Amino acid sequence: MSPELIGFAIAFVIGLFAGVQFEKAMAKQRRAEWRRRKDSSGKEQRGELLHLQPKHDTLPKKIPDAADQLRTVMKAEFKPQPLLNKSEARLFKAIDKWVIDLRPGWQVMAQVSLGEILKCDDKAAYACINSKRVDLLIVDDECRPLHAIEYQGGAHFKGAHATAARDAVKKEALRRAGIGYVEVVAGDTPAELRRVVERLASH
């Protein structure tokens, strides 16, 4: 075979091999592009489905039961604290004495939850008052609530706007239930407080 034919044959084989390799590379590139588009489309579809459908595989948080609460409490440290501060305690003792003198059988209770003395079929309205308290509450001989007394000490007027809003909620709920509401402030004299109690005891 002449050198020319041999050179042609070698060139043909090299060209054929290069063509095969080029086709393989192009096919590989087309497959990669097809997979990329498929994955992208699948992700978009899954994203749309996740966006449109609720996540059924998300488990609700467990509501702590009594056993859970007990384990939590057993890990914590608790300390007693006074039910009333010193000013509130002095007011409580004075009003309690006057109430018993004026209306035997009546009593004064301290830090009473409104959720314990009010009831309401409207759950949203009840939730607004359930955790709120009154400083003092006068009850009759059958423990029926009669008059709430709120003590406005010096610290009471810090953040006055929020405090006034909370007091307005309590006052309106008590008014609607037919329970009296009166405020006494730091600086009221014993004579002034006595007159307040006399007025409440007369109703």
pLDDT of residue 164: 87
Q: Is the pTM of this model over 0.85?
A: no
Residue 146 has pLDDT above 80, yes or no: yes
Instruction: In whole angstroms, give the CA distance from residue 172 to residue 77.
Output: 38
Instruction: In whole angstroms, give the CA distance from residue 29 to residue 9.
Output: 30
Do residues 135 and 150 touch, judged by C-beta distance below 8 A? Answer: yes
CA angle 157, 160, 162 (to 5 degrees): 135
Coil, strand, or helix at residue 149? strand
pLDDT of residue 13: 45
Model confidence at 88, pLDDT cuts 50, 70, 90, reads very high
Q: What is the mean pLDDT of residues 162-183?
A: 94
Helix segments in 53-106, DSSP class H: 66-75, 86-102
pLDDT digits (tens, 9 = 90+) for 147-156: 999 999 865 4
Domain ranges within the chain, ordered by starting residue: 1-79, 86-201
Q: What percent of the chain has pLDDT over 90?
A: 59
Residue 28 has pLDDT above 80, yes or no: no
